[in-house]
Chain A
């Protein structure tokens, strides 16, 4: 029996975590900044995301038998290594709280308007906790299964929307300041790649065929980028940029337009379930990251579960309203998450080179 984690299965997690922040903030933010040139920003962003991903994977190649916490301890020494690990755990926890809040807003907005957020959160938390209790192998298997479901949903959605595109809506192009296009592409790379750091929680050698892991991760990053480009192209092509900019959940508004043969309609709730999937996988990964740290440090697991309970209650009142939450991520995500993680990765890569 193969006890190692499947390579493609593990890589498929990247597809979901790199998409999570595009549920509401990401696409909307890029559309507002780059307008009709959002597609160009997307292409540049994908290129940047590969560079960012390359740096993370380079760090992952150091001491393949160790997880990220062990690597940090080895590179920076026990004391500094532990401080960095604690900062990463705090970031992961904050990310988890934000995801729960975001999930609440989304579910209440689109699916269960009248159901109390405590009930919806608890029921969504059940599969999350079940998966966190298992190991990365199970999480990866779930991820690849829902990846295929997501691809089928996407194919169905966008094939049905193809005839609604008006090519004139793409014009004028190259009419946005180069600065805005560049900022948008940086934001794309930031939103999509920063959470990948949590994937390093699993030692590379515990994955089947580790030499091919990087290639598969690049492929899934490319798939995620292509999906972003498709969504943005369809949004601009169907609604025009001025209307697209207004949508809070652009992907949902897009799928609402499906009307095939005059009887396949109102299928938006079914076809946007992938939004729940990506939230679910990201929640699982952020909690699994914290759980691994607790196991590594031999801390009492009760503290871990108490942290989850506190996080759930904090998530209900994380932001007063969706506007504050939206603006917070838009303004501070790069400063709080991307810059420190990028710095950590760059310093770590330099240190590994010096050590080698």
Chain B
């Protein structure tokens, strides 16, 4: 009897009846989602597995639901659509404005889709145009890499972070924006959403301010000015610690930012060999960073993308009073001057 069992297992469990070869799968890299006449309009960028023809293929489809549209693509493609390696979805403003954030439901519900993809918003164009441009220049994955590495002006919005913030009280989630300029797709700062609706696009300074306050900044160059001349520092490491305490009837939010930076360009007339010059440069840089942060904080009074109200709610969940004041402590430490010790200046 045991031998019969072993033989049965050997023969029947040696493979799966419905297995799929890699060559039979259409691996979806990017999905663009637009809305047209109350229908979802989808474009799926499928990775090319054929060495001879280097370009990724794009499939277009429409449907009342995302799933219906994807299933229609299955009819067009000779391979089975596979979402296990989905990198990003790009949605147009109409989709978010229509409060159709529930579109991500289908991506969360399907087991084969790994919810590790990013979500982007297409600005001033539809998402399928962006997918087309990305595919044309074959820089889809390059853009993905850049978006993760250059988090200073954009925000790396992983889908579950976005949805988690969307479900949370007292915080407006942000989303990375993609747009087309000079026939190139590029990461265009951040947009604030509220209840799934886009309410504001941030400019570069506000985006950097957001990332500094949320402790999500990466390496970034900041121009600084002194007596109408410009130099540049590069933020190498930044750490933000936000504290909250109550003072009377008001909450005090203390933003403590510690930055390690180095000099990447120097055009001031101050002698870099003097000890106090670096301190002076640090003070100038701190003032510059303060401008970025102040701009974001000012904007936060109209929305709640910095999550200050959330911070109050997390510590004082039963309070209804959200009056707060922000104190900033910025400390910049310029550690290196680069390859040369001083400015390059002609002898008088």
A-side residues, CB < 8 A to B, are 109-110, 112-115, 123, 126, 130, 168-169, 171-172, 175, 239-240, 242-243, 246, 253, 256-257, 259, 265-266, 268
Contacts and interface: CB of A to CB of B under 8 A. Distances in A.
B15 interface: no
22 contacts: A110-B111, A114-B18, A115-B17, A115-B18, A168-B314, A171-B314, A172-B314, A175-B318, A240-B164, A240-B167, A240-B168, A242-B168, A243-B160, A243-B163, A243-B167, A246-B108, A256-B114, A256-B115, A257-B160, A259-B116, A266-B84, A268-B114
Given A123-B12, A172-B314, A266-B84, A257 B116 contact: yes
Given A168-B314, A175-B317, A239-B160, 9 more contacts: A109-B111, A110-B111, A114-B18, A168-B311, A171-B314, A172-B317, A243-B167, A253-B115, A268-B114
A115 B16 CA distance: 9
A268 B115 CA distance: 12
Interface residues of B, number: 27
A80 B160 CA distance: 56
A110 B113 CA distance: 11
A172 B84 CA distance: 34
> Among A114, A115, A169, A172, which residue has the most Cβ atoms of chain B within 10 A?
A172
B13 interface: yes
Interface string B134-168: 00000000000000000000000000100111011
B1 to A, nearest CB: 9
Given A171-B314, A172-B314, A256-B114, A243 B18 contact: no
Interface of B: 5, 8-9, 12-13, 16-18, 84, 108, 111, 114-116, 160, 163-165, 167-168, 311, 313-318
A318 B76 CA distance: 39
B111 A171 contact: no
Given A115-B17, A240-B168, A257-B116, A171 B163 contact: no
A126 B17 CA distance: 19
A123 B165 CA distance: 43
Contacts of B18: 112, 114-115
A268 B114 CA distance: 10
A112 B17 CA distance: 10
Given A123-B13, A265-B114, A239 B5 contact: no
A256 B314 CA distance: 27
Given A168-B314, A256-B114, A112 B12 contact: no
B315 A171 contact: yes
B309 to A, nearest CB: 13
B12 A242 contact: no
A114 B108 CA distance: 19
B221 to A, nearest CB: 26
A329 B58 CA distance: 46
Nearest to B1: A133
A123 B17 CA distance: 14
Chain A to chain B: the 3 pairs with minimum beta-carbon distance, closest first: A171-B314, A242-B167, A172-B317
Contacts of A265: 114, 116
A115 B116 CA distance: 27
Contacts of B167: 240, 242-243
